[in-house]
A and B are shown apart, each in its own frame.
Chain A
């Protein structure tokens, strides 16, 4: 069965500093990995994904994520955090070789960027 773990409930970072939000996964075969962001009173929005190819993927709003197969991780990063990045971030996984289009989400990490 596929699963995702986000080990940090909350990450605090000062504005202008680099940020990392951690995600590890468990899936049979090669995973498809995603990051979504949820702002207050708004629906989840897609940020970026890894399907295949380059391990470093770039997405919206200056975010990027690195796929690490040996560590089964897909950490979200941004070189310089903005106060407006404060939101709830979710990692998700799909197992394409399982024949399902079901996506499993992590429990989320709240990012607070302090001015």
Chain B
């Protein structure tokens, strides 16, 4: 178990630029989640995948956000035309939800700062 890996750890960008984050889940985990966390708040659900299928996406998520999980392995989260309000910690988590083993394993996150 090498844990959930997220890259980069930090990203600074200018308003209007596109950014892409990567998440490598624990290898045997079939579900992968993206959350966003701002200071003083809990993780806010963005989307989740089961294998390569994106099963749910938050209605709060603008069309500028897109996520993929090709081949059901790693995932990418892209934000187009970034805005200052996108500044947050982006968290990835994975799980192998088999009954009583259900729990999320989180990565350390990618901190995005939009200037």
Tell me the A residues contacting B by CB distance below 8 Å: 4, 6, 32, 34, 36, 41-46, 49, 51, 90, 94, 100-108
Q: Is there contact, CB below 8 Å, between B41 and A107?
A: yes
User: Complex formed: what's the CA distance from A102 to B45 in Å?
Assistant: 8
CB distance from A26 to the nearest CB of B (A): 15
B22 at the interface (CB under 8 A from A): no
User: Complex formed: what's the CA distance from A94 to B45 in Å?
Assistant: 12
Q: Out of A4, A34, A101, A107, name the residue touching B48 (CB < 8 Å).
A: A101
Query: A105 to chain B: which residues have CB within 8 Å?
Result: 35, 42-45
B103 at the interface (CB under 8 A from A): yes
Q: Is there contact, CB below 8 Å, between B103 and A46?
A: yes
Q: Is there contact, CB below 8 Å, between B56 and A100?
A: yes
CB distance from B50 to the nearest CB of A (A): 7
Q: Is there contact, CB below 8 Å, between A103 and B45?
A: yes
Q: Out of B35, B91, B102, name the residue touching A32 (CB < 8 Å).
A: B102
Q: How many residues of B contact A (CB 8 A)?
A: 28
CB distance from B4 to the nearest CB of A (A): 7
Query: A101 to chain B: which residues have CB within 8 Å?
Result: 31, 48, 50, 55-56, 95, 97
Q: Is there contact, CB below 8 Å, between A103 and B33?
A: yes
Which 5 A-B pairs rank lowest in CB-CB distance, beginning with the nearest?
A105-B42, A43-B106, A44-B106, A46-B103, A105-B43
Query: B42 to chain A: which residues have CB within 8 Å?
Result: 4, 6, 90, 105-108
CB distance from A92 to the nearest CB of B (A): 8
Query: A46 to chain B: which residues have CB within 8 Å?
Result: 103-105
Q: Is there contact, CB below 8 Å, between A44 and B43?
A: yes
Q: Out of A36, A41, A104, name the residue touching B45 (CB < 8 Å).
A: A104
Q: Is there contact, CB below 8 Å, between A42 and B48?
A: no
Residue on A nearest B108 in the bound complex, by CB: A43
User: Complex formed: what's the CA distance from A104 to B108 in Å?
Assistant: 19
CB distance from A70 to the nearest CB of B (A): 24
Q: Residue-by-residue, is B89-114 near A (CB-CB < 8 Å gives 1, otherwise 0)?
A: 00101010101101111111100000
CB distance from B41 to the nearest CB of A (A): 6
CB distance from B24 to the nearest CB of A (A): 13
Q: Is there contact, CB below 8 Å, between A90 and B43?
A: yes
Residue on A nearest B105 in the bound complex, by CB: A46
